Amino acid sequence: MKNRVKKYSIIISIAICIIIIYVCTLLGVASISFWDANKILLNQIFRIDLGMENISAGAIAIIWNVRLPRIILAFITGGVLAICGAAYQGIFKNPMADPYILGVSSGAALGATIGIVMNFSSSLFGMNGTAILAFVGSFASILVVYNISRVGRKVPVATLLLSGIAIGQTISAIMYLLMIFNQEEMTRIMFWIMGSLNGKGWGQVLTVLPYVIIGCIVMLTSVRELDIMLLGEETATQLGVDTERLKKKILITSSLLTAAVVSVTGIIGFVGLVIPHIVRLVTGPKHRVLIPFSLLFGGAFLILCDTLARTVAGQEIPVGIITAAFGGPFFVYLLRKRKQGGV
């Protein structure tokens, strides 16, 4: 009975996500009629022609090349940040852990800042120069944190977290110094740091997709071990889980996933911190349910936030501002409920 309920819940959640993607694709500042938008989607996805001769090339480009890939990238990014947050919180047993806790955001921000300041224009695998340097910076910071924290073959969790904070602050200081000496680029740098999906297309979607598919498969194959880890490291070891190997696997996979999406979108906060907590209220702590539902909830949440970011104010707002505006107060609410024994 429980398996049937879980199966139906996942199917319903997937259907809701598809509906959100569909509705948000129809919404935007550009005035495109409901019927024209549907004709474009049917023609581009299913090759069904319901009369495209009266629809302008501009309208087709807006729906197919601007809105839809942006929304799909929002879903991928939100889902990735949410499952990485859930995995980190499980492996570190720390409710404040999020995908950026090990210096991923600071490294990415420094890389992007260098790319913007140097006007780095090279491209690779569909990523522009700024995205390439952001990816390199984020992954380099993780390697530094990991090597500083390692004691023999073991990586103590507390040391890892503290090293991540220390390295992150050091990298941020270097980035701010670069911003002071390059004030003419400060607006572009700040816009990147606040996170944005503006101007993203199918190229960015296809760039991050391989990382996301491989990373999600690894995460889903690790859910049993993550569930056992809830009992404590000592108990998990007694039950046959190689806890150090699991830490490395989750650390590398989550870091790679986060680095991939952050290098393209910039830093989008609170999704990886808040969404796993919301999902736990609905599904409980078991990772075999938590991970897939975090993917769906996180993706849907970021789509809705990005739709607000591009429609409400009449001009483009960095989506990181919207996620912080919703995520910050809600997380405070969760903390108060936990303090009162309600969570």
What is the per-residue pLDDT across 279-308, written as a single tens digit (0 to 9) for each?
Answer: 998 888 899 999 999 999 999 999 999 999
Q: For residue 225, give Cα distances in angstroms to 3, 85, 116, 117, 286.
A: 20, 16, 41, 44, 11
CA-to-CA distance for 172 and 112, rounded, in angstroms?
12
What average pLDDT score do residues 206-234 get?
A: 91
What is the SS3 assignment for 270?
coil
Q: Which of 39-48, 145-154, 309-318 has the highest mean pLDDT?
A: 39-48
Question: What is the pLDDT at residue 343?
Answer: 47
Bridge partners of residue 154, in order along the sequence: 151
Buried b (16+ CB within 10 A) or exposed e, 124-138: eeebbbbbbbbbbbb
- Under the banding of pLDDT at 50, 70 and 90, the label for residue 5 is low
What three-state secondary structure class fits 151? strand
Provide the pLDDT for residue 81. Answer: 96
- Distance, CA of 19 to CA of 80 (rounded, Å): 20
The helix/strand/coil state of 127 is strand
288, 289, 292, 295: CA torsion to nearest 10 = -120
Residue 342 has pLDDT above 60, yes or no: no
Task: Please list the residues that pair with 124 across neighbouring strands.
Answer: 127
Nearest to 303 by CA among 38, 13, 17: 17
What are the tens digits of pLDDT across the range 31-79? 888 999 999 999 999 888 888 888 999 999 999 999 999 999 999 999 9
* 340: confidence class by pLDDT, cuts 50, 70, 90: low
pLDDT attached to residue 2: 59
pLDDT at residue 279, as a whole number: 93
* Joined tokens for residue 26: 């129809």
User: For the whole prediction, is pTM greater than 0.85?
Assistant: yes
- Under the banding of pLDDT at 50, 70 and 90, the label for residue 218 is very high
Once rounded to an integer, what is the mean pLDDT over residues 4-23? 88
Q: pLDDT exceeding 70 applies to what percent of the chain?
A: 94
